[in-house]
Structure 1
Amino acid sequence: MKKILAIAMFSVLLSAESCTKDSDFLNVPPKSVVTTDVAFSDPALVLSAIGDLYNRQVDFSSLDDGWQTFTDFGESFPSDNGSYFIVQNRSWGYGSWAIWDYGYIRDLNLFIDNVTASTKLLATDKSRFLAEGRFLRANYYFELVKRMGGVPLITKSITYDNSGSVSNLLTPRAKESDVYDFVISEAEAIKGSLPADLVDKSRASQAAALAMEARAALYAGSIAKYGSTTPQVSLPGGEVGIPASMAAGYYTKALTAAKAIISGSVGNYGLYQVLPNLSDNFAAVFLDKSSVNHESIWVEDFKALAGKTHAFTTNDQPYSVSDEATDAGRLDPSLNLVQSFEKLDNTFAPIPTTDASGNPIYYTDQQGPFAGRDARLAGTVMLPHFFWKTAFIDIWGGYLLPNGNIISSDDATHLATLPGTSAQVQVVGKDGPTPTGEPLRSQTGFYIRKYLDPATGSGRRGRGSDVNFIRYRYAEVLLNAAEASAELGDFDNASIYINQVRARAGLTTPITLTAGNYFDRMVHERRAELSFEGHILFDMKRWRIATKVWDGNTESLADLTSNIGSATKRNTQPWGLYPYKFYNPGGANDGKWVFKEVLPSNVTGVLNFRIGNYYSQINDGIISANPKIIRQPNQ
């Protein structure tokens, strides 16, 4: 979209320079000022305006907002000195995750009004631009409602009448259900005016509108159903909370929208299945910008040639093979997440580190403990001894001696001697983890793989990466259809939808969803498929289980390794798994690998999601300016 904006603005400047004689410069308007009637008479200028509106859309986690937006909720650890607050004394403020940009909504409303009033645009251009403006407005209202609940629903630009009174400008909060209904109805109204099977996935399409509708309706249905478990999270006017009687209607709308995409009636979309290695194939879903990737539906596009890149790879690449020695390793997936990827026999189990008698298991290969698991694990996470760009990453915590002692150091360049030797050798991995928790190296034993750009130079400052951030994709549509079907009692079709996603990950033995297991299965499947894509917070909130998962209690090793696969399993502290080289010259296990579960030393707090966190705080300044705004409950 940045490229679109640049091209359109260049055409404006070019036309302004096209003077036929010197005296004409007196009649040329300022280059930075284009009147509304002119701006909305030329498709190139309208494209420039809507390009800016696309660029102002918000995501909970996004590649250009920085790596920190991905390092929370027990799924990962922030290996950076300035970011340890995320795992220390972690009670989220009531204002966490809040947005309230009515300036953006006003700009969207003005855009829609101006396109509507235009008499110069071709009918086809006008119809598409209007639909795009309404799509962006609906999607932003969706971002608002899932954070704030019901908000003022303003769909026309408001003009102050200079009367000295602003009372006519003050709008109260709509019901939460009304905002969801608006998003859903807008998607239905505009989908026919948007193109199908769009090549440029950064612009809205029929499938993007339907994907938004499916997700929004699923959220509304969940809040209606599971909100009954937290009756205190509501307001009497409906600004927060949706009646349980509305749940089935929302689930039906979610399923209908998802099925329209699945049927192929709005374009050629499907699961990405290109590479023979299933883990590499899953990682490529987020890297492949070619026409063979039919999974992406709507993306935030980045283009190096247009100067729009991000520093996600710079910040999170493995230290030992980084393009910038001072930028690496900040986003470390947790053992909590790693062990949640199930085995290929559809069972859940911790990563095996000891045998039935409690004795260490000795592995000849660092990848050994992770064998036979869901392929999405190695597609999402860099496991120890992963080959990245030019070399294998170097993750190990030190040498383990037969007496249980460990020889290590605070940096791979600080050498030490081993028993019975005199030569100094490297005693810890270049990529960590170190006993002292050296930042910019892994402190969990893992690195992120999802979104990491393997292109040469993509981790350099000033260059960056142009890997896309996918906002809506086909696999989520299948999972939305599965969840909606299950909530409506159709477990047969729910099983069909979920098993398509699982089969792509190598889980080829189908599971059968039932009334007794579907909720745990759906929660797990979204975690495995959609981790680090901005879903976990809002999933936990809409299901009303955030207060159970992040309950403010410490997470012991027993807590960590038990009840894997349970939707309400505690996940309050990010654990790590450290590989150690066993040093016992002459022994049968000398040189093999032993793994130990470790709570990183900087994890001193616990995640504590309070009942008041289900909706983000509307700050006092907003309420003071508009007394019609009702405060959130439990704050």
Structure 2
Amino acid sequence: MKKIFIIAAMALSLASCNDEFLDKYPVTDISEETAFGSYDNFKAFTFPLYDMFTNTTIQTSVNYCAQSSCYNGDFYAGYITTKSSYNPYAFQTVSQSASGNGWDFAYIRRVNIMLSNIDKCASMSAAEKNHWRAVGYFFHSFWYMELINRFGDVPWINKPLNEVSPEAFGERIARKIVADSVLTRLQWAEANIGEFTTKDGSNTINQDCVRAALSRFTLREGTWRKYHKLGDYEKYLTECARVSKVLMAKYPKLYTGCGTEVTPGSGYGEMWTTEDLGKVPGIILYKPYNALVPHNFSYQEHISNSNYGLHQATVDLYLCKDGKTISKSPLYNGDKDPYSTFRNRDPRMLLTIMPPFKVVENGANKPADNPKATWGYTNNPADREYIDLIGVNSSCANPGVGMKRLPAQNWGASLLPYSPNIVDKQIKAYICSYSGYFLWKNYTLWEESGTATLNTSDKPIFKIEEVLLNYAEAMWELGQFNQSVADESINKLRERAAVAKMVVSDIDANFDPNRPTDDDGNLIDPLLWEVRRERIIELMGEGFGFYDVRRWRMAKFFINKQQKGFWTTKDAVSKRGLLNETTHLADPTLTQGYAYLFADPVNTEGKGWLDKYYLYQVPTNEIVLNPALTQNPGWEH
């Protein structure tokens, strides 16, 4: 049975109670003396801290609502687009923040209360005390990772405060000092956390979770320091390489799918569509969902108002199966029809974006394995190319795994007769995307889709795939990336995805003639760009994008683009009864071209990314309450 993160203050009632305990303290008077008398008391008190992993302040959140969690991190990064919302950073619509904005120390206070009571607990051994101190350091550090990423300099709070504590009215501490403190705490936690699975339960914070957080944090902080010219970054990148290597040795296998005859790369797709991630290799920590604690990720991708899709520039990042870019590969078929766009591409693309198809509603040519289907094949064999490819997933013996099938259907099991669909009123706009590239990373057919919140697939929090990418990038930054490093990191991901391996010696200035520049206009090193490309593709839709483009100082390249959709004709657009008439061709003088929703943010609107966006605004109410706080550059007025 799945274990559930129990997030409720009533968890304190798990404290062991006996007659002597009741004689000393009334059961209705919960205090620090009654709350921290045993090992189980500390376990109960920390349960609400697991809420961090579903808190939408963190953009890798696996919150139960898909459209307010991890997708937003990649939307802000410019990787994905929406049907109705301007990218706030591209069009400078980021609102001023009087309160909130992620400036929140509630978790920090809870951790500090717990930490301050460890040494007072006479019933715990020294090892048990070290264990809970390590767990506390993990959660304290995990939230500070977000605070640092948003605000840079932040107050360092490492003890419980009250309304008269002088620290509550202190200054912001330099980012480098706070980050070094986080690093020290995570390293201590790695060395001292105990093996108490029988007491804590499985899928709880352990040494590998601490290491995964270390891997993420040290890469993020090291590259931020390097590309934002703060200095003293090598120790972070070296630590990232070390701890990542330890995890890679412990988790040598990637999940390859539920059977032997599966869609290429299906193990990649099933990380987000699997009933029980506790059985999946490479999962370090995950958020379990079930009928009592469900989510709506899959439901959101079965409805006509699903908000997210990819745009053409992101689609163009996907390599061909031979490991070459679309500008160099002889396998590339062009993008003038959707079938060509997907053909011979990295299979992770069709497991992230719904591929094209067409069927006949109530047609006579029924699929052989489903003679009672409400549809039939067309007379054009090309229309079933991706139906057949995706349909191989039906060989999975476990109905709670994978199960992406074409043709697609909406939440009420109504048939989508073709894709891409840019909102056709004749088919009631079932599963539509104005860009033509519908995001369906969490789409399954085995989960309940008729009710908004009855999906139960588990979602990953820490997994070895991210660690492999962290390691590869850190090794490049340290000047140590070679073929051996590529083989033990990126090429493991490529092998599972059925993409040709990266050959380091082949990657030179001509490998991708369209490689980007950083915010200073400098071309990105060819090999570094391929390492970063692999990260973007593997983690697409998981919320890492806004963290990445900011630490790389590449926000302008990704966010200032005019987001275009698939190639279409003016006649096709006008005939489809669009719900949003602003959807049109990028060049309105042509009869065909790339569809788009929004104008060019820079050349047409005179907007675009501002350097002040690299750090968030400190809420103005906080500065009113504490005048010692300073504002981040650019947000002063």
Any idea what the Cα deviations from partners look like across 1:2-29, whole Å, max 9, x if unmatched?
835379958938988x99xxxxx99994
Alpha-carbon distance, 1:309 to partner: 1.7
* Residue 379 (structure 2) pairs with residue 375 (structure 1): no
- Relative to structure 1, is the Cα distance of residues 167 and 609 closer, same or farther in structure 2, using a 3 angstrom cutoff? same
Q: Answer yes or no: is the 8 Å Cα contact 2:150–2:616 preserved in 1.
A: yes
- Relative to structure 1, is the Cα distance of residues 474 and 195 closer, same or farther in structure 2, using a 3 angstrom cutoff? farther
Q: Residue in 2 aligned with 1:177? A: 176
Q: Residue in 2 aligned with 1:573? A: 563
For residues 486-525 of structure 1, what are the structure 2 equivalents within 5 Å? 486-492=476-482, 493-496=484-487, 497-512=489-504, 516-525=525-534
Q: Residue in 2 aligned with 1:547? A: 556
- Relative to structure 1, is the Cα distance of residues 88 and 188 closer, same or farther in structure 2, using a 3 angstrom cutoff? closer
In the superposition, the TM-score normalised over structure 2's length comes to 0.72
Structure 2: gaps spanning 5 or more residues: 360-368, 379-408, 410-414, 509-524, 573-590
Letter in 2 for 1:52: P
CA distance in 2, matches of 1:280, 1:439: 25
2:466 to 471, 476, 485: 476
Alpha-carbon distance, 1:315 to partner: 1.7
Any idea what the Cα deviations from partners look like across 1:281-309, whole Å, max 9, x if unmatched?
2111223324441222223x13324x222
DSSP 3-state at the match of 1:576? strand
Q: Residue in 2 aligned with 1:52? A: 48
Q: Residue in 2 aligned with 1:592? A: none
CA distance in 2, matches of 1:14, 1:7: 14
Q: Answer yes or no: is the 8 Å Cα contact 1:92–1:609 preserved in 2.
A: no
For residues 102-251 of structure 1, what are the structure 2 equivalents within 5 Å? 102-160=105-163, 167=166, 169-194=168-193, 202-228=203-229, 242-243=230-231, 246-251=232-237
Q: Residue in 2 aligned with 1:312? A: 297
Identity of aligned residues (%): 20
Any idea what the Cα deviations from partners look like across 1:72-108, whole Å, max 9, x if unmatched?
24333334xxx43448983252758931111221111
CA distance in 2, matches of 1:386, 1:53: 47
- Relative to structure 1, is the Cα distance of residues 205 and 386 closer, same or farther in structure 2, using a 3 angstrom cutoff? farther
Any idea what the Cα deviations from partners look like across 1:402-455, whole Å, max 9, x if unmatched?
xxxxxxxxxx9xxxxxxxxxxxxx998487323689596222223323233432
Q: Answer yes or no: is the 8 Å Cα contact 2:447–2:455 preserved in 1.
A: no
CA distance in 1, matches of 2:180, 2:564: 38
CA distance in 1, matches of 2:224, 2:103: 21
Any idea what the Cα deviations from partners look like across 1:289-341, whole Å, max 9, x if unmatched?
24441222223x13324x2222222222255xxxxxxxx53322333322321
2:282 to 278, 295, 298: 295
Alpha-carbon distance, 1:596 to partner: 7.0
1:449 to 437, 440, 452: 440
CA distance in 2, matches of 1:518, 1:121: 52
- Relative to structure 1, is the Cα distance of residues 197 and 5 closer, same or farther in structure 2, using a 3 angstrom cutoff? closer
Alpha-carbon distance, 1:490 to partner: 1.0
Q: Residue in 1 aligned with 2:626? A: 626
Letter in 1 for 2:284: I
1:39 to 16, 23, 35: 35
Alpha-carbon distance, 1:623 to partner: 1.5
Alpha-carbon distance, 1:374 to partner: 1.0
Letter in 1 for 2:310: P
Letter in 2 for 1:599: A
Letter in 1 for 2:550: K
CA distance in 2, matches of 1:168, 1:330: 43
CA distance in 1, matches of 2:597, 2:107: 43
Q: Answer yes or no: is the 8 Å Cα contact 2:128–2:194 preserved in 1.
A: no
CA distance in 1, matches of 2:627, 2:445: 52
CA distance in 1, matches of 2:268, 2:234: 33
Q: Answer yes or no: is the 8 Å Cα contact 2:264–2:347 preserved in 1.
A: yes
Letter in 2 for 1:446: Y
DSSP 3-state at the match of 1:471? strand
* Residue 434 (structure 2) pairs with residue 434 (structure 1): no
- Relative to structure 1, is the Cα distance of residues 45 and 577 closer, same or farther in structure 2, using a 3 angstrom cutoff? farther
CA distance in 1, matches of 2:300, 2:184: 40
CA distance in 2, matches of 1:445, 1:40: 55
Q: Residue in 2 aligned with 1:461? A: 451
DSSP 3-state at the match of 1:297? strand
Q: Answer yes or no: is the 8 Å Cα contact 1:314–1:460 preserved in 2.
A: yes
CA distance in 1, matches of 2:554, 2:601: 20
Q: Answer yes or no: is the 8 Å Cα contact 1:273–1:504 preserved in 2.
A: yes
Larger displacement relative to structure 2 (85-94 or 487-496): 85-94
Q: Answer yes or no: is the 8 Å Cα contact 1:5–1:47 preserved in 2.
A: no
- Relative to structure 1, is the Cα distance of residues 385 and 440 closer, same or farther in structure 2, using a 3 angstrom cutoff? closer
Alpha-carbon distance, 1:176 to partner: 1.3
Q: Answer yes or no: is the 8 Å Cα contact 2:39–2:124 preserved in 1.
A: yes
Alpha-carbon distance, 1:155 to partner: 0.9
In the superposition, the TM-score normalised over structure 1's length comes to 0.72
Structure 1: gaps spanning 5 or more residues: 20-24, 229-241, 320-327, 397-411, 413-425, 552-570, 583-594
* Residue 350 (structure 2) pairs with residue 341 (structure 1): no
Alpha-carbon distance, 1:509 to partner: 3.1
CA distance in 1, matches of 2:629, 2:468: 38
Q: Answer yes or no: is the 8 Å Cα contact 1:222–1:542 preserved in 2.
A: yes
CA distance in 2, matches of 1:544, 1:201: 39
* Cα RMSD (Å): 4.3
Alpha-carbon distance, 1:122 to partner: 4.8
- Relative to structure 1, is the Cα distance of residues 5 and 549 closer, same or farther in structure 2, using a 3 angstrom cutoff? closer
- Relative to structure 1, is the Cα distance of residues 108 and 279 closer, same or farther in structure 2, using a 3 angstrom cutoff? same
DSSP 3-state at the match of 1:99? coil
- Relative to structure 1, is the Cα distance of residues 115 and 87 closer, same or farther in structure 2, using a 3 angstrom cutoff? closer
CA distance in 2, matches of 1:194, 1:152: 26
- Relative to structure 1, is the Cα distance of residues 30 and 544 closer, same or farther in structure 2, using a 3 angstrom cutoff? same
Any idea what the Cα deviations from partners look like across 1:568-587, whole Å, max 9, x if unmatched?
xxx342523569999xxxxx
Any idea what the Cα deviations from partners look like across 1:210-235, whole Å, max 9, x if unmatched?
1211221112221222113xxxxxxx
Letter in 2 for 1:41: G
- Relative to structure 1, is the Cα distance of residues 618 and 160 closer, same or farther in structure 2, using a 3 angstrom cutoff? closer
Alpha-carbon distance, 1:169 to partner: 3.6
CA distance in 2, matches of 1:278, 1:27: 64
Q: Give the total of aligned pairs.
A: 527
Alpha-carbon distance, 1:173 to partner: 1.4
DSSP 3-state at the match of 2:237? helix
Letter in 2 for 1:247: Y
CA distance in 2, matches of 1:173, 1:341: 42
Q: Answer yes or no: is the 8 Å Cα contact 1:336–1:574 preserved in 2.
A: yes
Q: Answer yes or no: is the 8 Å Cα contact 1:433–1:578 preserved in 2.
A: no
CA distance in 1, matches of 2:454, 2:630: 44
